Amino acid sequence: MNVAARPPGTAEGGEETASVNVAARPPGTAEGLFRFAVATLVFTIAVILWGAVVRATKYGDGCGAHWPYCNGEVFPTAPSRPTMVEFAHRVTSGLSMLMTYAMTFFAFRVTPAGHPARRAAVWSSIFMTGEAAIGAILVLLKLVAHEESTKRALSGGLHLVNTFLLVGALVATAYAARRPEPAVRPELRSLTALGASILLALGVTGAIAALGDTLFPARSLTAGFAQDLSPVAHLFLRLRAAHPFTAVAGFVLMTGLVGALARRGKSLLTARMALAVRVLFAAQIALGLANLLGLAPLWLQIVHLLSANLLWIAYCVFAFSVEREPTT
């Protein structure tokens, strides 16, 4: 056949196609990468949720203004509860980083040059390194615990964006391990990027709203509204008040956008992920309302954050799928 006569990794017209080369590799290598990427993703999500516990308990200064040491020690010898919580987050973050770097090394071992899993894995390592750098800056500049400055809001927003991009890169690595085909519908890239931007913007406002819940907890629903609507309300409280409305607006926009993209798709995966995005976004709205009415208890904040990550993962898979569907 003509395929056998072509150079490895190329197709008609000289375009690179990793799927031809992947098929010739030993069985199980791509599947192994897929499983490793999924395991790294799951562990990283757990670390993200524990980070929310650190923020909500105001234990972010449990190791003092020291990094990478904890209160000047490699291993705290007489840790308090805040120190144990913060140190556990640092240890698990370090393990997540090692897993991401190992996944990247694995991707280069089992995939050919130009394979999309390689690029996604490299981006995963870049964003993971960014996570460590942002975490160090937060600690060294004391933008944790009870800090109420605008710098903390900006750094928190940057942290959220980098975290979501990290999760997206891990998803892309797992996706490419199973489906290495290149995108054949680049004309949809602007629409899928718009959807990602909407989710990132909502994530940033949600992260700052969560800071408002942490730093300015309300004793009752009425007191919370009074705090938010005060003419001298803190920036975190103003954003906390605005977040529910922006979330509803985002839900309407995303529902229309995902519906329009899904109608151009034909695969079962695209249809399922479109449904998952809608359902998870509706769940986010319901959880946000529950947070508001229940005065944001810690466990519900964690569930809300988990749901946000699942929504982001579902949207990433949806976007990857719809961009790679054949045009005919």
pLDDT digits (tens, 9 = 90+) for 108-144: 999 999 999 999 999 999 999 999 999 999 999 998 9
Q: Are 315 and 199 in contact (CB under 8 A)?
A: yes
**What pLDDT, on a 0 to 100 scale, did the predictor assign at position 327?**
57
Instruction: Give pLDDT, residue 7.
Output: 40
Q: State the residue for tokens 């769940």.
A: 283
Please tell me the predicted confidence (pLDDT) of residue 145. Answer: 85
pLDDT for the residue numbered 16:
40
- Answer yes or no: are the C-beta atoms of 198 and 250 closer than 8 Å: yes
pLDDT digits (tens, 9 = 90+) for 267-315: 899 999 999 999 999 999 999 999 989 988 999 999 999 999 999 999 9
pLDDT at residue number 184:
79
pTM for the whole structure = 0.88
The identity of residue 67, as a single letter, is: W
What pLDDT is attached to residue 113?
93
Distance CA 167, CA 310 (A): 10
For the chain, list residues with pLDDT below 70: 1-28, 326-328
| Count of alpha carbons within 13 angstroms of residue 13, beta-carbon side | 3
- The whole-number pLDDT of residue 2 equals 41
Q: Is there a contact between 176 and 20 (Cβ–Cβ < 8 Å)?
A: no
Cα–Cα distance for residue pair 52/93, rounded to 1 Å: 13
Reduced 3-state DSSP string for the chain: CHHHHCCCCECHHHCECHHHHHHCCCCCHHHHHHHHHHHHHHHHHHHHHHHHHHHHCCCCCCCCCCCCCECCECCCCCCCHHHHHHHHHHHHHHHHHHHHHHHHHHHHHHCCCCCHHHHHHHHHHHHHHHHHHHHHHHHHCCCCCCCCCHHHHHHHHHHHHHHHHHHHHHHHHHHHHHCCCCCCCHHHHHHHHHHHHHHHHHHHHHHHHHHHHHHCCCCCHHHHHHHHHCCCCCHHHHHHHHHHHHHHHHHHHHHHHHHHHHCCCCCHHHHHHHHHHHHHHHHHHHHHHHHHHCCCCHHHHHHHHHHHHHHHHHHHHHHHHHHCCCCC
Q: What token pair was written down for 54?
A: 């650190």
Q: How many whole angstroms separate alpha carbon 307 and alpha carbon 287?
A: 9
- Residue at token pair 């007489």: 78
